[in-house]
Amino acid sequence: MAIILNEFVDIKDLNTMIESVEGSSEPNYWLKGPFLCAEDRNKNGRWYTMDICNREVKKFNEEKISQNRALGQLEHVKDPYIHLERVSHMITSLIMQGKFGMGEAKFLDTPLGKIGKALVKDKVILGVSTRGIGTADNETGRVNDDYSLVTVDCVYDPSATGTLVESIVEGSEKWLFDNKTGEWVEKAVSNMKSQVAKKYDSKVAAKVFNEFIETLKNGYVK
């Protein structure tokens, strides 16, 4: 079962930077420092091999940073998608230096980006946390080769970044989940569609939708 893997970086190693822009009264606001770490066991009891980190950093540069698509969000969401309404910053650099993935992220002029800028301006200590999807060995904590880095989010509370969320929906991004999970999700969707098709009105739709949500929670179809 693949899960969302969120890994927080110690905020004492992260720097904020305010950069003046010639001809503009509004400076740029940045986060700089280690965004990820290889080989060391983190606070969630997991650890990443150097090979995985090198591979994912390379892929992240090729697929996201080089195309100005490396967007991060203010606080984590419980899925591997980039929600544009929650975007706060763009990662402009991520390079492996030894066992650390050293990164730079620029706050954008989005609603949540402005919040990030205001926090940095007022010297609030922020942190970053990688968001990826994959599996890990329960006994050793080693993250497996199916891991895929999604992005690096800006977070406040380290204690809120270690939750594991099961992947139960398949979308356009790379999702990893086992066949059993996929099977009962497909059955739940099919069951919902067939019931609504028989007699559609607002009450029936609401009832069927609520049953569908409960089905996803419980992992079976009634």
> pLDDT at residue 184 above 80?
no
* Cβ atoms within 10 Å of 133's Cβ, excluding its own: 22
Please give the order of strands across the beta sheet that includes 3-8.
3-8, 127-134, 148-155
Under 8 Å between Cβ of 187 and 32 = no
Examine the pLDDT at 21 and tell me if it is beyond 80.
Answer: no
At 202 the pLDDT is 59
Contact (CB, 8 A) for 74 and 152: no
d(C-alpha 165, C-alpha 183), whole Å = 18
Which residue ranges make up each domain of the chain? 3-160, 179-218
Across 98-180, the runs of DSSP E, i.e. the strands, are 100-107, 127-134, 148-155
Residue pair 128/35 in contact (Cβ under 8 Å)? The answer is: yes
Task: Answer whether 8's CB lies under 8 Å from 43's CB.
Answer: yes
pLDDT at 13: 64
In the block, tokens 């080089």 appear at 66
Q: Measured between alpha carbons, how far is 205 from 87 in angstroms, rounded to an integer? A: 32
Top mean pLDDT of 4-13, 36-45, 86-95 is at 86-95
Digit-coded pLDDT (tens) for 40-84: 888 888 999 999 999 999 999 999 999 999 999 999 888 889 999
Per-residue tokens: 121: 């301006």
CA nearest neighbour of 72 among 83, 58, 57: 83
Q: What is the mean pLDDT of the chain?
A: 77
Question: For residue 8, with 0-12 CB atoms within 10 Å meaning exposed, 13-18 middle and 19 or more buried, which class applies?
Answer: buried
Closest CA to 12 of 28, 33, 41: 33
Nearest to 37 by CA among 22, 52, 27: 52
Non-local CB neighbours of 209 within 8 Å, separated by 6+ positions:
192
- In angstroms, the CA 105 to CA 91 distance is 4
pTM for the model stands at 0.68
Amino acid identity of 20? S
